[in-house]
Structure 1
Amino acid sequence: MADQPLQAALEVQNLTWNVAEQNILTDINLSIEQGARVAIIGPNGAGKTSLLKCIAGLQKDFTGDINIGGEPISSLSTRQIAQRLAYVSQHQSTPFDLTVNDIVRMGLLANKPLLALNGAFDDSHDDQHIAESLQLVGLKHKRWHSFNTLSGGEQQRVLIARSVVQSPKLLIMDEPTNHLDIYYQHQILALANELDLTLIFSIHNLELASQYANTLVLLNEGKIVAKGNADSVLTSNLLEQVFKLPCLVESHPINPGKRITFAANTPDAARKAQ
């Protein structure tokens, strides 16, 4: 008997989202296989965050279909969505003085009884899981610090640790390298790549996208311009069309992936891109 094909981790079909008669996303179609590493790229306002929020179940008023592991997201409760995916946003703040441990522990709640908020159902394995996830992101030494006293980069790493504890099948990260220095940009993306799940992340840095994703989705004005590997998506013609600047695309001399050099934003460069 022939092997049955794996169920796609994510299917997006004819996704369109309009707000006040403005098109935010238009006719988005995506099929993402299990274990894929997908980078959503494009200029500001292209719809990257909007797409991720729809996939994560944070926006409801779209048309089209989104299926996670073959299940329509519209049929899942917030808790059921949390059992299947974790979402790390660009910005995170809390009005409460929670510790890093408190924030990471929230990742446990998706897979515990509803009465688990007070920690009554925690055990030694949970404690170890929290400690190990913080060790992975280099913040075990700040486990009992106030979350609000951390830098933006440290807070982002705490949120990724929370996602590790949540044990999802799908991890969605919106600009995970924002506020991070070069070392932690690479560390966070390398860490996410090592996790046994499907990864979707938006990112402005095209070189990092080419290094850490096996599939790139290029958005512009709410539409998919191209999708595929770095060789097919990161071409000078496509990038000049979307970013309105001449560019040079070449193999990166040190890392896997591409090196992209955009021309300075001068009147002459703008004329060449038109």
Structure 2
Amino acid sequence: MTVIARKLCWGVKRKTIVRDVSLAVRAGETLGLIGPNGSGKSSLLRLLAGLKQPLSGQVEIQGRDIANVPRREVARNVAFVQQSAATDTNVSVRDVVRLGRTPHRSALSGWRASDQEAVDGALRQVGMTHLQHQSWQTLSGGERQRVHIARALAQSPQVLFLDEPTNHLDIHHQIEILQTVRQLNLTSIVALHDLNLAAMFCDRIIVLKDGALIASGAPETVLTEELIASVFRVAAAVSISPHHGHPQVHFRTGDNAAV
């Protein structure tokens, strides 16, 4: 499914958080959102997913303005993975993932084979099958994040929004999760704080600063030393990795690290 945003603006009281952002994401593409803390990445994701209503502008998914689409219908096609979530309920991992099937079921429908297959597949994709009967309360932060992603995958979405999904994960699982997302046959928009992960796993990157979109394109054209210095206020050297062929950012240390 395609995702198109036209001149999105949103803010709280007198503070503008997303400023006149327009973008287009092709079906099956993985788009990365990068920018410093407070740049508007999370707010933009929620606008694109229909979780916030813009003050002006609109979002179209597969050519339809999502403001005019029933929320349940949106939920059948769009899944959102937030940075973190908590619950005091003592439920199993599998029960959490089963919640992803809610938009596809009516109040009177029973649990179907297709629901079972979706949950099993989602657990398998994030490597949590062996913990499916374990209590949610006993999981580490990284394990909980993987379960949240599994719940989103169980939803069988066509568009997946992820807000810094690698938070709390060790390096191995960061790469594993983003490889999983990258290989899915769906449209993905992911906010990331790690520039090297964005370069490795995103087809295109957009850069936000103070709520405005200031750069957009392939990682090798966007991730320049000049842009990193301007947006993130750090000095870095950028090269092409001989191992994976993507840009690789090396941050400088010492007296000249900040700019």
Which TM-score tier does this pair reach, normalised by the shorter chain? over 0.9
Distance in 1, Cα, partners of 2:88 & 2:70: 26
The 8 Å contact of residues 35 and 197 in structure 1, kept in 2 or not, is answered as yes
CA RMSD of aligned residues (A): 1.5
Task: Output the CA distance in 2 between the equivalents of 1:81 and 1:161.
Answer: 19
Question: Which residue of structure 2 lines up, in the alignment, with residue 109 of structure 1?
Answer: 102
Question: Is residue 23 of structure 2 the alignment partner of residue 30 of structure 1?
Answer: yes
Contact 1:35/1:199 (CA < 8 Å) preserved in 2?
yes
Q: Equivalents in 2 of 1:40, 1:225: separation in Å?
A: 11
Does the CA-based 8 Å contact 1:93-1:148 persist in structure 2? no
Q: Which amino acid aligns with 2:188?
A: L
| 1:146 shift after superposition | 1.4
Provide Cα deviations, 1:134-157, integer angstroms capped at 9, x if missing partner. Answer: 122111011111112211111111
Residue of structure 1 in register with 2:154 after alignment: 165
Secondary structure of 1:104's counterpart equals helix
Q: In the alignment, is residue 205 of structure 1 matched against residue 205 of structure 2? A: no
Q: Deviations over 1:121-176 (max 9, x none)?
A: 11234223312221221110111111122111111111111122111110000001
Counterpart of 1:189 in structure 2 is 178
Counterpart residue identity of residue 45, structure 1: G
Q: How far does the alpha carbon of each residue in 1:2-24 deviate from its partner, in whole angstroms, 9 at most, with x for none? A: xxxxxx61110010112111110
Do structure 1's residue 254 and structure 2's residue 243 form an aligned pair? yes
How many angstroms apart in 2 are the aligned matches of 1:129 and 1:71? 26
Aligned residues: 259
- After TM superposition, the runs of 4+ consecutive aligned structure 1 residues lying more than 4 A away are none
Corresponding residue SS for 1:196:
coil
Q: Which residue of structure 2 aligns with residue 14 of structure 1?
A: 7
Instruction: Check whether the contact 2:118–2:155 (CA below 8 A) recurs between aligned residues.
Output: no
- Cα separation, 2, equivalents of 1:92 and 1:148: 12
1:86 to 48, 66, 79: 79
**Quick one: distance in 2 between partners of 1:256 and 1:109?**
41
Shift of 1:204: 0.7
Structure 2 stretches lacking a partner, 5+ long: none
Which sits farther off after the overlay, 185-194 or 124-133? 124-133
Write the distance in 2 (CA, Å) between the matches of 1:37 and 1:56. Answer: 15
Contact 1:218–1:227 at 8 Å: present in 2 too?
yes
Q: Percent identity?
A: 36
| Structure 1: gaps (5+ residues) | 1-7
SS of alignment partner, residue 168 of structure 2: coil
Query: What is the SS of the residue equivalent to 1:121?
Result: coil
Q: In the aligned structure 2, how far is the partner of 1:265 from the partner of 1:64?
A: 44
TM-score normalised by structure 2 residue count = 0.95
Name the SS of the counterpart of 1:97 in structure 2.
Answer: coil
Alpha-carbon distance in 2 for matches of 1:265, 1:166: 47
SS in 2 for 1:28: strand
Larger Rg: 1
Question: Quick one: which amino acid aligns to residue 16 of structure 1?
Answer: C
Paired residues for 1:92-131 under 5 Å:
92-113=85-106, 115=107, 121-131=110-120
Summarize the Cα distance change of 1:49–1:196 in structure 2 as closer, same or farther, 3 Å threshold. same
Picking from 107, 125, 129, the partner of 1:140 is: 129
SS in 2 for 1:163: helix
After alignment, is 176-185 or 248-257 more displaced?
248-257
Please state if 1:222 is matched with 2:222: no
